[in-house]
Chain A
Amino acid sequence: MNPLTQKAESVEEWLTLLRSRPELMENVTFWHTEPARPPRAVQLPDNIHPKLKHALKQKGITNLYTHQAASYHAVTEGRHVVTVTPTASGKTLCYNLPVIQKLLEDDSARALYLFPTKALAQDQVAELQELANLMEADIKTHTYDGDTPPNVRQAIRNAGHIVVTNPDMLHSAILPHHTKWVKLFENIKYIIIDELHAYRGVFGSHVANVIRRLKRICRFYGSDPQFLCASATIRNPREHAERLIEETVALVDDNGAPAGEKHMVFYNPPVVNKQLGIRRSSVLESQKLAALLLKSGIQTIVFARSRVRVEILLTYLQENIKHELGAKSIRGYRGGYLPKLRREIERGLRSGEIRGVVSTNALELGIDIGQLQACVLNGYPGTIASTWQQSGRAGRRQGSSVTFLVASSNPLDQYLIQNPDYFLGRPPEEARIHPDNLLILLDHLKCAAYELPFEEGDTFGGEKLTDLLEFLAEEKVLHRVGNRWYWMEQAFPAHNISLRSAAQENFVIIDRTEGHRVLGEVDRFSAPTLIHEEAIYLHEGVQYQVEKLDYPEKKAFVREVNVDYFTDASLAVELKVLHVDLESSSGPLERQYGEVTVMAKPTIFKKIRLRTHENIGSGPIHLPEEILHTSGYWFSFSEEESAKRSANDMQMALLGLANVLIHLAPLHLMCDPLDIRVVPQVKALHTKRPTIYFYDRYPGGIGLSQRLYEKHDELLEEAGRLILGCGCLSGCPACVGPIEEVGLLGKDLALSLLRGTRTSS
């Protein structure tokens, strides 16, 4: 440590300093050091084109890491490949190498690259162009997205060797106009799908259908491309890739890239009220750790789980370190910032001009921001895969890096921080998709019929195709002639179908503090709870109050304010069972899986004071009810079990158990925590018994509650372990919920309810 500047020479030195501070160290529950890993490399394959060899040499690449070589060989053998290695392991070369090699051998060959976001696509093009320049080869690489100017588009369609785009653009612009892309589709050799793990849930289910359409078009033009996929670490990369592209895939996961020493530190904020089980706020603790790092000159990224958290953390941090660094060197980053601002922040991070950034998972994907030294996770990111991805933002090939996981009082955080083996030992979660969700499938069937007529004997998805086609013919969308079905409607189907269900219906936020300017946007599902009237909306650390929400027009008008609270809204949910598909019972418990209708309506919002987080007021929210038909899983307790306790006690017990279960559910699913919801009912309409329901928050369901149905026993067991392991006396936010919510006996009630299920089964 330099005594004058207070800057640390290295992360290593900073960690020594940390170890000497007992007031911090007593909160460290677990410290895992991943030793530095030497590279495992093999020679470049002999048949690599001399130009490519030369270009790689100029970039300092004379060998391949083992995974790069394995992937190259698998591709050469003609197999579809999925590569799974951590952040910054030279993953892109796994697919760029075979692609460039092919283009050098055959100038007419074409490749299509898919990235989940525009920003990633642009990074990739820059990298490919650099390589092409080094080779002095005429390899034309272009992004094709909403920002591509019309005059450039035509050139790309005719002459682009590599077209880099996103699934949305493929869906709405390329496939429906495939006749303009004859050159691409006739000669397509490779389709690259990076960030494979991002295509899960609803989005992934849509993308799987877009790929069905893509393959159909390729077949029409007589091509049979290979898929080269890359994914972050998930439990089921091969299975996921195979479900997404519906082909047999070779898995490459033998990471040969070197890495510097990496410290993973679990940090549990101290308990400040043992009775209530209240810990110090994870926001304040994260802020403290981040400030400590930043003040020592260590470039740091802070991840927070929500946009609001990002803004709160940013405000605190900017204030805390403004004397040392100046507020501009700490920035926020999240969806809702306009692209220009985001690019500016990415550049600043790469150049080192920006020393710290507070982000949502928006920076989790492979956007190029260089490698930072330290990472602070404010709360468990929701999935183990995300945790590794985010923590991968810190870590260079040489020198140490550190990641802090600062637990919140959320039960899942507490469960993980007290069971670190579970975190390190267990392979991460599964990515799930449900491409045959009837609504999604039917939407893409329309698009596919628009693109090419269907013929008897064709296949598309898991449902019986002729039934679906006949249905569309009855709806007068398709026209049947003999054994063929033709699109016969005026509409352009892709326009009405968004792959990201929320994206097409974003609410625009308009600041009218001075004139009118667009501040950002919020997706439809978040709108009722984030930008209802009187809500405090935070943007770049500035507070705005929503003055008017124009729901039909999807606009929120806000004005800058300066208040000492933020707002938190709640939803009231009603639920009906329509159809039971699966059921089984064990002793007093009956569990079922089927179709449900959910009616949700935002009710009130609370005003919560900054820093102390006390409740200082509330107000109603007047917004229409949303109706959702989806799939759900539920289990109900026997009448004997309910006879044992009063209705009120049963309610507390159910609520407590539901709180624990919903937080644990993501251990088995790879989904946004908001994709799966829970509703406890003391006397459910359907079963007439005490019941806990789970449902997928997407019409038709996407397979999440079905998975929970399968994992039912494990789930309950984990719940019991969590409640027993919690250090609080009678219930806290880290297990069954705060005593304000579940009462003074909440913890015991939930435990006894659980015990009842076990003794009798």
Chain B
Amino acid sequence: MSGLRERLGRLRQETSEAVIADLSVNSLPAASVAETAIPAERERDSSIEQESRLPSGFRQIGVERMSNESGQFLLRRIEYDLPYRHGHYDLEELIACASHLHPVAMRQNRESEAIDPYRLLFLDTETTGLGVGTGNVPFMIGFGYYSGNRFIVEQTLIRHPGEERAMLTYLLGHMKDKSHLVTYNGRTFDWPVLVNRFILNGWRRSGPEPGHLDFLHPARALWRNTLPSCRLSMIEEARLGIHREHDVPGSLAPSLYFQYLSDGNPVHLHGVYAHNEKDILTLASLSVHFGLLLSGNVQPDDIEATEGEELFRTACWLEQHGLTEASERMFSLLPDMKGIDDGGWGLALAARYKRAGRHELALPIWRKSAAKAEASALPKLEAHIELAMYYEHREKQLPTALSYAEKALELTQRRSRLISSAAKRKEEKDGLQHRVARLREKVSRERK
């Protein structure tokens, strides 16, 4: 053994720095652990530990041992009596509005039955690594569900990979009477990781796949351009009114778990438990948010959208999910909002009007945007081009069209002084030159 280590040491001399760097990452002290250092009870030997009580570090936070036909694992169960407020929303609100989430389920699944809040399983896993490879192990599976007048969160934990089978058996038991998994990126992460584990434990996927209500994609549709990121922690703070204190970021969870594995001290995991529990609650809040939105009763004022961008994205999202009336109401507010001439959502709105054949509504937006562009040091050209097309093809006012096209060309020159000419810019400029030349020819032909 020592011979092996020695041989390896020699062979790897050149990589020793990398190894050291690796180790230092693993031994990062966790902020939340320092306060309550409790001497660890080592429990490697499972035969002794079966008889003994769980370490106090687990008992403190209500973790209990569970057994089933596949073995043992640990479970923490928390009950929230309803009503229970989590941020802006009360979890109870979902009972009334869950059915409105059906269009989301329809977009994410080939088919979907009606949404019954009591048949939703809110799911979030903590894993030992990134990606959906076979070596990534979910060491904690947190899930929540409505039961009678309560919202219940359960968190399973394996003390070592040998307990996985029992944990998965327990999870499957809870999935049996549920119709959908409610997740944040669960369709492409949590669920595939779990499927890996089923297969590795020799279970083939039998029976129907669970339905998915994955709110990552709706969240991106709404907030991609208005929030710095679409991580769940960002969304809950900025839009759901949820503030966490002393939160252990999810990215630290693997190294905290490895620390627990190496010294057996459950206190390392307290922060992970708390984080995962909050994530489950937030999933329910987020469901309320989208449920209410899709109920069509939300007034634009209710949306925390101070900018037109978010209102516009929300309106588009509602329109995609078939809520024409609610979305029209929001669209109609947009022309008066600040930022319509910035060349962003304003032009997208104008394009929408143009597609609908309502040029009279698009025209003022283009004009405003064009005026703003002309005053800008880094002008955008889209509005001018739209106007040039409009006057050429709709109004047949060739001179006006020409003047917009020429103006746009002039603006490209202003811009190229500041930005080096990339290939795309050049293409745009070539297109414009072509347009100007064509218009000039048309105009001169008309004069003859």
- Chain A residues packing against B (C-beta within 8 Å): 176-179, 182, 438-439, 442, 449-453, 463, 467-468, 470-471, 476, 479, 481-482, 484, 486-493, 578, 595, 597, 626-629, 699-700
**Chain A to chain B contacts (Cβ below 8 Å), 23 pairs:** A182-B204, A438-B4, A439-B8, A439-B11, A450-B134, A451-B135, A467-B1, A470-B1, A471-B4, A471-B5, A479-B161, A481-B160, A481-B161, A484-B162, A488-B137, A488-B258, A492-B129, A493-B135, A597-B10, A629-B10, A629-B11, A629-B13, A699-B14
Distance (whole angstroms) from the CB of A486 to the closest CB of chain B: 4
Complex CA–CA separation, A493 to B131 (angstroms) = 12
The CA of A49 and the CA of B261, in the complex, are separated in Å by 57
**Chain A residue contacts of B196, Cβ below 8 A:** 179
- Which residue of A468, A479, A595 is within 8 Å of B4 (Cβ)? A468
Chain A residues near B134 (CB, 8 Å)? 176-179, 450-452
User: Is there contact, CB below 8 Å, between A488 and B10?
Assistant: no
When distances are taken between beta carbons in the complex, the residues of chain B under 8 Å from A449 are 135
How far is A451 from B26 in the complex, measured between Cα atoms in Å?
Answer: 22
Given A179-B196, A490-B129, A492-B129, do A699 and B11 touch, yes or no (CB 8 Å)? yes
List of A residues within 8 angstroms of B7 by Cβ? 438
| B228 sits at the interface (CB 8 A) | no
Per the 8 Å Cβ criterion, residues 12-41 of B in contact with A are 12-14, 26
Contact A476 B26 (CB under 8 A): yes
Q: A179-B200, A468-B4, A479-B160 are in contact. Are A492 and B11 (CB under 8 A)?
A: no
Q: Is the CB of B128 within 8 A of A442?
A: no
Residues of A within 8 A of B254 (CB): 490
Cβ of A625 to closest chain B Cβ, rounded Å: 10
- Chain B residues positioned under 8 Å from A178 (CB to CB): 134
**A42→B264 CA distance, assembly (Å):** 70
Q: Does any Cβ of A come within 8 Å of B351's Cβ?
A: no
Please measure, in the bound complex, the distance between the C-alpha atom of A629 and the C-alpha atom of B7, giving whole angstroms: 10
Tell me the complex Cα distance, A487–B131, Å.
14
B195 in the interface (beta carbon within 8 A): yes
- Closest chain B CB from A241 CB (angstroms): 28
Interface residues in B223-268 (C-beta closer than 8 Å to A): 254-255, 258, 261-262
Q: What residues of chain B lie closer than 8 Å to A467, measured between beta carbons?
A: 1, 4
* A176 to B136 Cα, complex, angstroms: 10
Contact pick for A486, options B1, B131, B161, CB 8 Å: B161
CB pair B4 A490 closer than 8 Å: no
Query: Once bound together, how far apart are the Cα atoms of A627 and B15, in whole Å?
Result: 10
B-side contacts of A179, CB under 8 Å: 134, 195-196, 199-200
Residues in A with CB closer than 8 Å to B195 are 179
- Give the complex CA separation of A449 and B130 in angstroms: 16
Q: Is the CB of B160 within 8 A of A492?
A: no
- 6 closest pairs, A vs B, by CB? A450-B135, A486-B161, A487-B135, A490-B129, A481-B162, A179-B199
Contact A491 B129 (CB under 8 A): yes
How far, in angstroms, from A197 to B94 measured CA to CA in the complex? 65
Partner of A490, one of B10, B128, B200: B128
- Bound form: Cα–Cα A450–B133 in Å: 8
A487 CA / B129 CA spacing, docked (Å): 10
> Using an 8 Å CB-CB cutoff, how does the interface string of B120-133 with A read, 1 for contact, 0 for none?
00000000111111
Residues of B within 8 A of A490 (CB): 128-130, 254-255
Measured in the bound complex, the distance between the Cα atoms of B10 and A215 in whole Å is: 31
B127 nearest CB neighbor, chain A only:
A490
Q: Which of A176, A438, A479, A484 contacts B261 (CB 8 A)?
A: A479
**A471 and B1 form a contact (CB under 8 A):** yes
Residues on the A chain within 8 Å of B161, using CB: 453, 479, 481, 484, 486, 488
A488 x B128 contact (CB < 8 A)? yes
How near does chain B come to A264, taking the closest CB pair, in angstroms?
A: 43
Among B10, B133, B162, B199, contact of A182 (Cβ-Cβ < 8 Å): B199
Bound CA–CA A438/B195 (angstroms): 34
**Chain A, residue nearest B10 (CB):** A629
For residue B202, give the distance in angstroms from its CB to the closest CB of chain A: 9
A179-B199, A476-B26 known, 8 other contacts, Cβ within 8 Å: A179-B134, A438-B8, A481-B162, A488-B258, A490-B130, A492-B129, A492-B133, A597-B13
Which residues of chain A come closer than 8 Å to B135, judged between CB atoms?
Answer: 176, 449-451, 487, 489, 492-493
Q: Mark B97-115, 1 if CB is under 8 A from A, else 0.
A: 0000000000000000000
Task: Please indicate the chain B residues that have their CB under 8 angstroms from the CB of A453 in the complex.
Answer: 161
> What is the CA–CA distance of A168 and B254 in the complex, to the nearest angstrom?
28
A439 and B128 CA atoms in complex are apart in Å by: 25
Q: Please, which residues of chain A bring their CB within 8 A of the CB of B12?
A: 439, 629, 699
| Nearest CB of chain A from residue B19's CB, rounded to whole Å | 8
Is A595 in contact with B262, judged by CB distance below 8 angstroms? no
The residue in B128, B254, B255, B262 that gathers the most chain A C-beta atoms within 10 A of its C-beta is: B128
* Nearest Cβ on chain B to A350's Cβ, whole angstroms: 33
Closest A residue to B135 using CB positions: A450
| Contact between chains at A492 and B258 (CB < 8 Å) | no
Q: Bound state CA distance, A489 and B25, in angstroms?
A: 11
Across-interface contacts of B162 in A (CB, < 8 A) = 481-482, 484, 486
Q: How far is the CB of B48 from the nearest CB of chain A, in Å?
A: 13
Q: Which residues from A are CB-within-8-Å of B13?
A: 597, 627, 629
How distant is A641 from chain B, measured CB to nearest CB, in Å? Answer: 32
Q: Is the CB of A486 within 8 A of B137?
A: yes
Contact check: which of B130, B132, B262 meets A476 at CB < 8 Å?
Answer: B262
- What is the minimal beta-carbon distance from B183 to any residue of chain A, in angstroms? 19
Chain A positions within 8 Å of B10 at CB level:
578, 595, 597, 629
A70, chain B: closest CB distance, angstroms: 39
Q: How far is the CA of A178 from the CA of B135 in the complex (A)?
A: 11
For the complex formed, measure the closest distance between the CB of B133 and the CB atoms of chain A, giving whole angstroms. 4
Interfacial chain A residues near B258, Cβ < 8 Å: 476, 488-489
List, in ascending order, chain B residues with CB within 8 A of A493's CB: 135
* Nearest-CB residue, chain B, relative to A701: B11
Q: Mark B128-166, 1 if CB is under 8 A from A, else 0.
A: 111111110100000000000000000000001110000
Q: How far is the CB of A114 from chain B (nearest CB, A)?
A: 20
Cβ-defined contact, B128 with A489, below 8 A: yes
A452-B200 CB under 8 A given contacts A176-B135, A481-B162 = yes
Q: How far is the CB of A173 from chain B (nearest CB, A)?
A: 10
Residues of B within 8 A of A699 (CB): 11-12, 14
Instruction: State how many angstroms separate the Cβ of A632 from the closest Cβ of chain B.
Output: 13
B129 lies within 8 A of A176 (CB) = no
- Smallest distance from the beta carbon of A681 to chain B beta carbons, Å? 21
Docked pose: A490 CA to B133 CA in angstroms: 11
| CA–CA, A452 and B200, complex, Å | 8
Q: Interface digits, B352-376 against A, CB 8 Å rule (1 contact, 0 not)? A: 0000000000000000000000000
Q: Which residue of A lies closest to B204 (CB)?
A: A182
Given the known inter-chain contacts A452-B200, A479-B160, please indicate yes or no for A488 contacting B261, CB distance below 8 A. yes
Q: How far is the CA of A179 from the CA of B194 in the complex (A)?
A: 11
Which residue of chain B is the closest to A474 with respect to CB atoms?
A: B5
B11 lies within 8 A of A700 (CB): yes
Q: Which residue of A lies closest to B199 (CB)?
A: A179
- If A481-B161, A492-B129 touch, whether A442 touches B8 (CB-CB below 8 Å) is yes
Q: Which residue of A lies closest to B133 (CB)?
A: A176
Query: Bound state CA distance, A629 and B128, in angstroms?
Result: 33
In the assembled complex, the Cα of A179 lies from the Cα of B204 at a distance in Å of: 10
Q: Which residue on A lies nearest to B6, using beta carbons? A: A579
CA separation between A479 and B132, bound complex, in Å? 20
Give every chain B residue within 8 A of A595 (Cβ-Cβ): 10
Query: For residue A597, which residues in chain B have a CB less than 8 angstroms away from its CB?
Result: 10, 13
**A172 to B, closest residue via Cβ:** B133
The distance in angstroms between the C-alpha atoms of A406 and B10, with both chains bound, is 44
Q: How far is the CA of A467 from the CA of B3 in the complex (A)?
A: 10
In the bound complex, how far is the Cα of B137 from the Cα of A152, in angstroms?
Answer: 27
A486: B residues at CB distance < 8 A: 137, 160-162
Q: Write out the residue numbers on chain A whose beta carbons fall within 8 Å of the beta carbon of B5.
A: 471
- For B129, the chain A residues whose CB sits under 8 A away are 489-492
Partner of A438, one of B11, B14, B132, B255: B11
Query: Which residue on B lies nearest to A176, using beta carbons?
Result: B133
- Select from chain B the residue with minimum beta-carbon distance to A447: B135
Inside 8 A of A481's CB, which chain B residues have their CB? 160-162
